[in-house]
Structure 1
């Protein structure tokens, strides 16, 4: 059963894991992580994906590995926040 995160937290989790990878740390590169995009659940049941990472040339394998890990653990929240209540 996957946990659910909103788009900002999901983006931050992918970024955190990606920038902890040895190959990324070693090169000192900052990879731009896009916001997750909602999609129909795939065969595994994941309802989101990310495409078009910035400054990613040469790090495709690390990105794919992190996405695979995070997509297996989390789904993107589909709940919308009620903007009329600022205290929510």
Structure 2
């Protein structure tokens, strides 16, 4: 499967959205803090080029979080900074909101 490319904000939001829909998270009413993904120097063995660590308020949800991260990493690669800036320049409004 070919991965889609997304900027860091989009990946952060996608992970947050999926975590917020997990039944265990909904049931507990927990808000898991999701950091921006970090671009890896080299893609991992699966071809994914980003990682996300140090999610906050995650105790007890590690297995669920790992499954969500793995699913998003299978679907998306992180756009490099140059393509991030190019897409922001083409977007109407303030790109730094």
TM-score (norm 2): 0.83
Secondary structure at 2:21 match in 1: coil
Residue 73 to residue 87, structure 1, CA distance change in 2 (3 Å): closer
User: Which runs of structure 1 show a deviation greater than 2 angstroms over 4 or more consecutive aligned residues?
Assistant: none
Tell me if 1:24 matches 2:37.
no
After superposition, the C-alpha distances for 1:31-85 in whole angstroms (9 at most, x for unaligned) are 0001000001011100000000001111101100000100000000014215xxx
Query: Superposed, which structure 2 residues align to 1:17-56 within 5 Å?
Result: 17-39=18-40, 40-56=42-58
Residue in structure 1 matched with residue 67 of structure 2 by the alignment: 65
Q: Which has the higher helix share?
A: 2
TM-score (norm 1): 0.91
Structure 1: unaligned runs, 5 residues or longer: none
Residue 87 to residue 37, structure 1, CA distance change in 2 (3 Å): closer
Residue 48 to residue 87, structure 1, CA distance change in 2 (3 Å): closer
Aligned residues: 85
